[in-house]
């Protein structure tokens, strides 16, 4: 499966963005798709995941209330809606997919077999 993240840009604090992770080659129905971000000078961190086979999507607790993850099987795309953006959200956001990853590994980027180039989100204060 090939992944392409898009939707990033330069925005002002308080704005919203919707990032897209478009998949091709395979249906995302059979894959867990996770979103990660890496801020300048920091380690990559897990943001959200949609498990395979219709499992409930969820975001990590630190962004709950501002971030929402969703998927559209018809468009073979997983979305990350980000509201009330702040400078702390400035990062490269990327998505990754895997069809065998176990639940306990969802937050571990290296456990995903497939990933794509990220999209840069820059939030000005």
pLDDT in tens, 46-78: 999 999 988 999 999 999 999 999 999 999 999
Separation CA 20–CA 117 (nearest Å): 12
Tell me what percent of the residues of the chain surpass a pLDDT of 70.
100
pLDDT at 21: 98
Angle at 102 between CA 115 and CA 24, to 5 degrees: 30
For the chain, list residues with pLDDT below 50. Answer: none
Q: Average model confidence (pLDDT) for the chain?
A: 97
pLDDT at 1: 95
Separation CA 18–CA 25 (nearest Å): 23
């Amino acid at each position: 499966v090939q992944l392409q993240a898009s939707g990033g840009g330069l925005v002002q604090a308080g704005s919203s963005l919707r990032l897209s992770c478009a998949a091709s080659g395979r249906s995302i129905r059979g894959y867990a798709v996770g979103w990660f971000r890496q801020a300048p000078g920091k380690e990559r961190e897990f943001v959200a995941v949609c498990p395979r086979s219709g499992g409930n999507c969820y975001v990590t607790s630190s962004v709950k209330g501002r971030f929402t993850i969703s998927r559209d099987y018809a468009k073979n795309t997983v979305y990350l809606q980000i509201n009330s953006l702040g400078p702390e959200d400035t990062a490269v956001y990327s998505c990754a997919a895997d069809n065998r990853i176990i639940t306990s590994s969802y937050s571990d980027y290296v456990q995903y077999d497939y990933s794509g180039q990220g999209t840069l989100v820059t939030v000005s204060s």
